[in-house]
Amino acid sequence: MTFYEDLSPYAEESEDTFWEGEGTRMVTFTPRYTRVNVGWLAAGHPFAAGPPPLGFVEQLDRILHGQYVNAALGTHPCELCDADDDTPGAPRGSGEIRVPASPLEVFAAPFLIGHYVQAHSYLPPRPFIDAVLACRDTWRNGPPAPWLPDDAQRLDFEAGD
């Protein structure tokens, strides 16, 4: 996976794609919010480690299981586990999450961030921890309305496709 410094500007994808309607509709739009990278770890790049505050792991896990942003067809194995594409049982992740930092700024983290915290003691920057603890919703059914521009593209899939 590509390494990005924590709190650097996100430039992985120009658009954001969420799923809504219980996974039957793709919603794609050019974000009006600024995206800030967190947790894009990779082998060979040192990162902060330490115990997170109480409740952080559970709250992050809730977000990770409620959002599907920019989900790709493939998955990335965890490089920190020294895994590669052929390693059986390696922790893998696909897609990203969005956590609001302020009305016009969101944190953009890869799905593997939950594994990094729990298995590799990765300690994300404090502003991200605070944003996760303050996050009231996971938007399991699509992105929040204030995030959606009028020209968001919706693509529906029939169940079973």
> Any contact of residue 78 with Zn ion (CB under 5 A)?
yes
Size of the site for Zn ion (CB under 5 A): 5
Find the binder of Zn ion among 26, 42, 71, 81 (CB under 5 A): 81
> Any contact of residue 36 with Zn ion (CB under 5 A)?
no
For residue 14, the minimal CB distance to Zn ion (Å) is: 29
Distance CA 63, CA 98 (A): 9
> Any contact of residue 1 with Zn ion (CB under 5 A)?
no
> Any contact of residue 80 with Zn ion (CB under 5 A)?
yes
> Any contact of residue 38 with Zn ion (CB under 5 A)?
no
**Residue 102 pairs with which residues in a beta bridge?**
105
Helix (H) or strand (E) holding 129: helix 126-134
Nearer to Zn ion, 100 or 110 (CB): 110
For residue 81, the minimal CB distance to Zn ion (Å) is: 3
Segment interacting with Zn ion, rule: CB under 5 A, options 19-27, 85-93, 123-131, 136-144: 85-93
Helix (H) or strand (E) holding 35: strand 34-37
C-alpha triplet 92, 97, 72: angle, nearest 5°: 50
Distance CA 86, CA 110 (A): 21
Distance CA 58, CA 8 (A): 25
Nearer to Zn ion, 104 or 119 (CB): 119
